[in-house]
Amino acid sequence: METYRIERTNGMELGLYTLGDLFSAQSTAQQMSEHQRMKDMISMAKLAEEAGLDVFGVGESHQKYFIASSTPTILGTIAGVTKKIKLISASTVLSTSDPVRVYENFSTLDLLSDGRAEIVAGRGSRYGAYDLFGYNLNDYDELFEEKFDLLLKLNTKQPISWEGRFRSPLRNAEIFPKPLNGKLPIWRAVGEHHSSAIQAGKLGVPMHIAALYGASSVFEKRVDAYRRAATESGFDPKKLPIAVATMMYLDKDSKKALKDYFPYLNHTFTRARGIPFPMDRYAEATSIKNAIMVGSPQQIIEKILYQHELYRHNRFIVQIDHGNMPFKKVREVIELFATEVAPAVRKAIKN
CATH classification at residue 51: 3.20.20.30
65-79: pLDDT as tens digits = 899 999 999 999 999
Residue 5, domain member (yes or no): no
CB 313 within 8 A of CB 23: no
Residue 8, domain member (yes or no): no
Q: What is the pTM of this model?
A: 0.95
Residue 6, domain member (yes or no): no
Residue 281, domain member (yes or no): yes
Burial class for 94, CB neighbours closer than 10 Å (0-12, 13-18, 19+): buried
Strands 160-162 and 170-173 come out as antiparallel
| Bridge partners for 223 per DSSP | none
3-state secondary structure the chain: CCCCCCCCCCCCEEEEEECCECCCCCCCCCCCCHHHHHHHHHHHHHHHHHCCCCEEEECCCCCCCECCCCHHHHHHHHHHHCCCCEEEECCEEHHHCCHHHHHHHHHHHHHHCCCCEEEEEECCCCCHHHHHCCCCHHHHHHHHHHHHHHHHHHCCCCCEEECCCCCCCEEEECCCCCCCCCCCCEEEEECCCHHHHHHHHHHCCCEEEECCCCEHHHHHHHHHHHHHHHHHCCCCHHHCCEEEEEEEEECCCHHHHHHHHHHHHHHHHHHHHCCCCCHHHHCCCCCCCECCEEECHHHHHHHHHHHHHHHCCCEEEEECCCCCCCHHHHHHHHHHHHHHHHHHHHHHHHC
- Predicted local distance difference test score (pLDDT) of residue 125: 67
**What does the alpha-carbon distance between residue 210 and residue 214 come to, in Å, rounded to a whole number?**
11
Residue 1, domain member (yes or no): no
Residue 262, domain member (yes or no): yes
**What does the alpha-carbon distance between residue 286 and residue 299 come to, in Å, rounded to a whole number?**
8
**What does the alpha-carbon distance between residue 176 and residue 108 come to, in Å, rounded to a whole number?**
9
- Predicted local distance difference test score (pLDDT) of residue 288: 95
The closest of 190, 187, 178 to 123, measured between CA atoms, is 190
Torsional sign, CA 221, 226, 232, 237? negative
Strands 170-173 and 186-190 come out as unpaired
- Predicted local distance difference test score (pLDDT) of residue 1: 41
Question: Which domain covers residue 37, as residue numbers?
Answer: 13-350
- Predicted local distance difference test score (pLDDT) of residue 27: 60
- Predicted local distance difference test score (pLDDT) of residue 267: 87
CB 229 within 8 A of CB 198: yes
- Predicted local distance difference test score (pLDDT) of residue 56: 98
Residue 305, domain member (yes or no): yes
Residue 175, domain member (yes or no): yes
- Stretches where the chain sits below pLDDT 50 are 1
- Backbone angles phi and psi of 257, in degrees to 5: -60, -45
User: Residue 276 to residues 76, 213, 280: CA-CA distances in angstroms?
Assistant: 35, 14, 11
Total number of domains in the chain: 1
